[in-house]
Amino acid sequence: MAETEVQEFARPTVEVNTYKKANTLKAKVLENRILFRDGDENDVRHIVLDAKEMNYLDGQSVGVIPPGLNEKGNPHAVRLYSIASLASRMPHSENLTLCVKRAITKDEATGQVYRGVASNFLCDSKPGDEVTLTGPAGRKFLLPVESEIHRPYIFIATGTGIAPFRGFLQRLFKHTPNFHSPVFLLFGVKTRAELLYDEEFRAYQHSNFFYFQALSREMKNKAGGRYYVGDIKHDHPGKLWPVISDERAIIYMCGLKGMEEGVRNAINTLAEHHGKGANYYESIGHRIVEEVY
Ligand SMILES: Cc1cc2nc3c(=O)[nH]c(=O)nc-3n(C[C@H](O)[C@H](O)[C@H](O)COP(=O)(O)OP(=O)(O)OC[C@H]3O[C@@H](n4cnc5c(N)ncnc54)[C@H](O)[C@@H]3O)c2cc1C
């Protein structure tokens, strides 16, 4: 079959940008709690917003317009954040939840510190504060339609890239009757303390759930270097390859730009080992869904 004829899985039809810059949704902060903190300014927050009017699916993102004006005197640009909660229409859905890392950059040469506008606003917000939203955004990073949902999944996350998978796991394990397909969650961060929602994930007592962590500063790969998500292939090839090579399986990855390279190499290495071509990853592009930022 020619590459262009390969069918992607069927995604639900979604509404996007029902709220736009000219017609935003003002949402109140309901909760802001620390998920990870190291020192005063290195933190990741779980932020819950009262945004019931917005109709979104888990995996979509929302836009946040920070208050105030930029250096040119114009309103700030929209920043996107993945939704970390279940689809709004699901029964028992939490309110719209974000998982936000405070962005701070230090210029080592001058000592100048730059604070990211939206992430610092969100991380410093208090219950009752107003957040201006657009969205929802995104038509691709979605689970398949209900009739196709019983498939194997590999979810690969780095850092706050875990956000959409929190909603996906809730949906599969709590809201999909008789869900028995294998689900792999491969989560890469620097240290154990940064494993966001670790307890929540460990609480999933499903024999078909496999949760592996890559702690780049605390684990060593086979070559003695830092251990990244792509290195998980060495430790669990017997489990991973049958799923990766299953034509029904969907591989989602979300997180830091650059992670896709490591994942591609890892999958191609496994594929070569199993007698597939060196460009196996490219041949399964129709069942790989990426969101990197
Ligand atoms: C689809 C998508 C989903 C996303 N999901 C999430 C998510 O779930 N969680 C999350 O935390 N983020 C997420 N992001 C990233 C998010 O959109 C923002 O990019 C991020 O929070 C930084 O925005 P900011 O306004 O805080 O920083 P900005 O103000 O936009 O600044 C960007 C960076 O530049 C630095 N900086 C600013 N000015 C200077 C300067 N003059 N010199 C040098 N450096 C400077 C800042 O410190 C910051 O690190 C997502 C992005 C996309 C595209």
What does the pLDDT look like over 273-293, one tens digit per residue? 999 988 999 999 999 999 999
Determine which residue's CA is closest to atom 4 belonging to ligand 1: 81
Each residue's pLDDT tens digit, 32-83? 999 999 988 899 999 999 999 999 999 999 999 999 999 999 999 999 999 9
CA-44 nearest atom, ligand 1: 11
pLDDT number for residue 277? 81
- Does this chain's domain 25-137 share its CATH topology with 139-292? no
Q: What are phi and psi of 19, to 5 degrees?
A: -115, 125
How far from 193 is each of 72, 119, 188, 199, 206, CA to CA, in Å? 39, 20, 12, 11, 24
> Ligand 1 centroid to 217 CA: how many Å?
23
**What are the strands of the beta sheet with 130-137, ordered from one edge?**
79-82, 61-65, 130-137, 25-37, 43-50, 96-101
Q: In angstroms, rounded to a whole number, what is the distance separating the alpha carbons of residues 162 and 84?
A: 8
Q: What are phi and psi of 131, to 5 degrees?
A: -120, 130
Percentage of the residues of the chain whose pLDDT score is greater than 90? 88
Class of domain 25-137: mainly beta
pLDDT at 3: 46
Mean pLDDT value of segment 193-203: 97
pLDDT (0 to 100) of residue 2: 46
Topology (CATH level 3) of domain 139-292: Rossmann fold (3.40.50)
* The pLDDT of residue 155 is above 80: yes
Average pLDDT, the chain: 94
For a pLDDT cut of 70, what percent of the chain falls above it? 98
Report the pLDDT value the prediction gives residue 5, as an integer from 0 to 100. Answer: 58
| b/e map 43-56, b = 16+ CB within 10 Å | bbbbbbbbbeebeb
> What is the atom index within ligand 1 of the atom nearest the CA of 81?
5
Q: Closest ligand 1 atom to the C-alpha of 121?
A: 26
Protein residue whose Cα sits closest to atom 21 of ligand 1: 119
The more confidently predicted of residues 241 and 92 is: 241
| Cα–Cα distance measured from residue 248 to residue 9, given in angstroms and rounded to the nearest whole number | 9
pTM beyond 0.85: yes
**Domain segments of the chain as ranges:** 25-137, 139-292
Of the candidates 176, 146, 143, which has an alpha carbon nearest to the alpha carbon of residue 58?
143
Tell me what pLDDT residue 237 has: 74
pLDDT in tens, 93-103: 789 999 999 99
Ligand 1 interacting residues, C-beta cut-off 6 A: 61, 79-82, 99-101, 103-105, 114-120, 160, 163, 291, 293
Q: Is the pLDDT of residue 192 over 90?
A: yes
For ligand 1, the distance from its centroid to the CA atom of residue 222, given in whole angstroms, is: 33
What are the pLDDT digits (tens) for 175-191?
A: 999 999 999 999 999 99
